[in-house]
Amino acid sequence: MLKELLLQFILSLLPVFAFQLWHDKEQGRKGMPLFMGIFCSASMILCMLTATNVYGYDVDFRLIPYLLGSLYGGLPTLAVLTFIYIAMRIPMLDSIWEIVSFILFTVGFVPLMLFSIRPFERASALLKEYKGILLMSVLMIYFIITITGYISISEASWSFGLVIVLFLSVSASLTAIWLSIFMIESVKEKKLLYDEVKRVSANYRNEVEKLQQFIDETSFGVIVVDREGLITHSNEMAAMMFSLRLEFKDARQMLGIAFPHIFQSGYGDACVKLLNQALNGKKSSLVPFAAGDKIMLLTTISLRTSITDQNAGAALLAQDITELSHLKDEIGRMERLSLVGQMAASITHEIRNPMAVIRGFVQLIQERSPNNQQEYFRIVIEELDRANMIISDFLSLAQNRALTMEPASLHDIINDLIPLLNADANLRGQTIEVELCEDLPLIMMNNREIKQLFLNLARNGMEAMSDKGLLFITTSYFERKVELRIADQGVGISPEQMKHLFEPFFSTKTQGTGLGLPLCLSIAERHNGRIDVESKEGEGTAFVVTFFLQEEKAS
């Protein structure tokens, strides 16, 4: 009899063993009701077919898979198991008492299971074990009552063997249901932990990949070491910025190497010292460091764990601040030049008044002087006028006056000034060709400044040409841009001169002041434009002034 009970116990645990195999294959939760319905039905049928007969009463563990399948399979599984149980149990009913006990089970326990499924699903693992044992205890009480009633009705007597069988059956049933729930919940918990480990591992890999991408793409040289001083991350900029040994010029070759072994002596000693300080807990330090003609900014960071605040490594960053340092110096120089320019503008403005007085008295003396001295006075007056012109250009360039602008046509200005330029060209033996586009839109401009820009560029072109030279003046309009092109057939400008063309006081002419082109550029920029230069030595130069139109400025 004990063998039959042991077989019943193993058959009742069949769904649990099958669940472990099924769940290990990472099946989804959606298939669990079907799985529990199939295996618990099979287990229940096998238990009923191999039942042990005790004084004419069938003793088996069929209620264990019934209870287990209903709790984990839900309402559909409860309905299937109840149908199978009823279908197989009815043919086995041999007496009135068995029929009565069967009806009591169907009417009493099945509704109890119906109301126990949802609370069981929401319960914790420990509470599920408690609920399972409680429900099985109710079944065991039902089992003891039915077998006691059966013995009384059949006028059989209690024996020590029967008591032992009942005790073993009850104990095995309670043990089986506890063990089944415990094993199922353990498998589910293991699967949840496995999924969580996979998620954390995936997140960790993603964070590592993002960190490495950041390190690879940043313009900083980066070397990250662990608490043992072994390099865990580096980038190609580190190989370029740090003084590394020749065998470590590839970032991948540094991984896993102790950081003191990768640096050369000299500049590298400073890097080793900073990393050692960071590993010893010094959180950060900034050290400007001159490496040849470059200025480097070295930064070390002590890396700590977020939970225990223990040392987790260090990071060394290098930034090339050479250009930034030069820019800072240039800003300082520009500020000093601006101050000097403001002082010079004030001084030159005051110089104009005494120069005007000097010129007036020179003219007065000229009228009273003999004819043989007239040439001297003419030279003095011309030089005074030239000095006054230089002062005027300088003041125009230095002063940042507010301009009064209004919509106007560039063609009107060109047509107004062309007669003046033609007269100048005739004296030089030169020719001017003008080609103006149709439907040129109005632009916001200050007429006086645009006239000055146009005259300066046109006269520069004429002065750059010899006799019989041809000056081309054209306009065009496309893509919200108005272009004025002034091209000459002069000697051209060399590449070296092109670099300094718009610098104040730089001139390619022997009598030039070097302020005309900077003044033209300043005017163009104040009118939302720019000046481009196209030149080829021996063939000529073209100045292209481009005005960018805004939507509301076009007409």
Distance from C-alpha of 92 to C-alpha of 98, rounded to nearest angstrom: 9
List, for residues 78-110, the tens digit of each pLDDT value. Answer: 888 888 888 887 887 777 777 878 888 888 888
List, for residues 142-183, the tens digit of each pLDDT value. Answer: 878 877 777 777 666 777 777 787 788 788 888 888 888 888
Q: Is the pLDDT of residue 553 over 60?
A: no
- Of 116-125, 133-142, 222-231, 497-506, the one with minimum mean pLDDT is 497-506
Q: Is 132 exposed, middle or buried (0-12, 13-18, 19+ CB in 10 A)?
A: buried
Query: Using 50, 70 and 90 to split pLDDT, how confident is the model at 554?
Result: very low
SS3 54: strand
Return the pLDDT at 545.
94
CATH of 406-553, one of 3.30.300.30, 3.40.50.300, 3.40.50.280, 3.30.565.10: 3.30.565.10
Return the pLDDT at 346.
65
Query: Using 50, 70 and 90 to split pLDDT, how confident is the model at 477?
Result: very high
Contact indicator for 15, 47 with CB cutoff of 8 Å: no
Distance from C-alpha of 423 to C-alpha of 409, rounded to nearest angstrom: 23
Return the pLDDT at 24.
60
Distance from C-alpha of 533 to C-alpha of 486, rounded to nearest angstrom: 10
CA distances from 541 to 162, 460, 461, 485, 493 (A): 122, 10, 8, 10, 7
Residue ranges of domains in the chain: 2-195, 218-320, 326-398, 406-553
Query: Using 50, 70 and 90 to split pLDDT, how confident is the model at 555?
Result: very low
| DSSP H or E stretch at residue 548 | strand 540-548
Most confident of the following: 30-34, 112-116, 324-328, 486-490: 486-490
List, for residues 416-428, the tens digit of each pLDDT value. Answer: 889 888 888 888 8
Distance from C-alpha of 510 to C-alpha of 507, rounded to nearest angstrom: 8
The mean per-residue pLDDT over the stretch 495-512 comes to: 73
Return the pLDDT at 59.
67
Contact indicator for 462, 424 with CB cutoff of 8 Å: yes
Query: Using 50, 70 and 90 to split pLDDT, how confident is the model at 202?
Result: confident
- The angle at the Cα of 131, spanning 130 to 132, to the nearest 5 degrees, equals 90
Work out whether strand 470-478 and strand 431-435 pair parallel, antiparallel, or are unpaired. parallel
**Residue type at 63 in one-letter notation:** L
CA distances from 101 to 47, 166, 342, 505 (A): 19, 17, 114, 118
Return the pLDDT at 520.
86
Q: Is the pLDDT of residue 397 over 70?
A: no
The mean per-residue pLDDT over the stretch 225-241 comes to: 85
The mean per-residue pLDDT over the stretch 337-365 comes to: 71
Contact indicator for 458, 416 with CB cutoff of 8 Å: no
The mean per-residue pLDDT over the stretch 127-142 comes to: 86
Contact indicator for 70, 36 with CB cutoff of 8 Å: no
Return the pLDDT at 543.
93
Residue scoring higher pLDDT (473 or 362): 473
Return the pLDDT at 434.
92
Q: Is the pLDDT of residue 324 over 90?
A: no
Q: What is the largest CA-CA distance in the chain?
A: 170
Residue scoring higher pLDDT (201 or 2): 201
List, for residues 264-318, the tens digit of each pLDDT value. Answer: 877 778 888 888 888 887 766 677 766 666 777 888 888 888 777 788 888 888 8
Length of the chain measured in residues: 555
Distance from C-alpha of 188 to C-alpha of 184, rounded to nearest angstrom: 6
- The structure's pTM equals 0.44
Q: N- to C-terminal Cα distance for the chain?
A: 109
SS3 408: strand
The 3-class secondary structure across 197-242, one letter per residue, is HHHHHHHHHHHHHHHHHHHHHCCCEEEEECCCCEEEEECHHHHHHC
Contact indicator for 174, 196 with CB cutoff of 8 Å: no
The mean per-residue pLDDT over the stretch 474-501 comes to: 88
Query: Using 50, 70 and 90 to split pLDDT, how confident is the model at 483?
Result: very high
Query: Using 50, 70 and 90 to split pLDDT, how confident is the model at 476?
Result: very high
The mean per-residue pLDDT over the stretch 313-341 comes to: 74
Query: Using 50, 70 and 90 to split pLDDT, how confident is the model at 400?
Result: low
Q: Which residue has the tokens 């320019």?
A: 341
Distance from C-alpha of 49 to C-alpha of 62, rounded to nearest angstrom: 10
Q: Give the HSE-up count for residue 494: Cα atoms under 13 Å, Cβ half-sphere.
A: 4
Query: Using 50, 70 and 90 to split pLDDT, how confident is the model at 38?
Result: confident
Residue scoring higher pLDDT (516 or 70): 70
Structure tokens at 326: 């030069």
The two domains 218-320 and 406-553 share their CATH topology (first three levels equal): no
Return the pLDDT at 547.
93
Work out whether strand 284-291 and strand 294-304 pair parallel, antiparallel, or are unpaired. antiparallel
Structure tokens at 276: 């050692």
Q: Is the pLDDT of residue 510 over 70?
A: no
The mean per-residue pLDDT over the stretch 325-346 comes to: 67
Topology of domain 326-398, per CATH? Helix Hairpins (1.10.287)
The residues that bridge with 376 in the sheet, in sequence order, are none
- Which of 395, 389, 526 lies closest to 450 in space, CA to CA? 526
Domain 218-320 belongs in CATH node 3.90.950.10? no
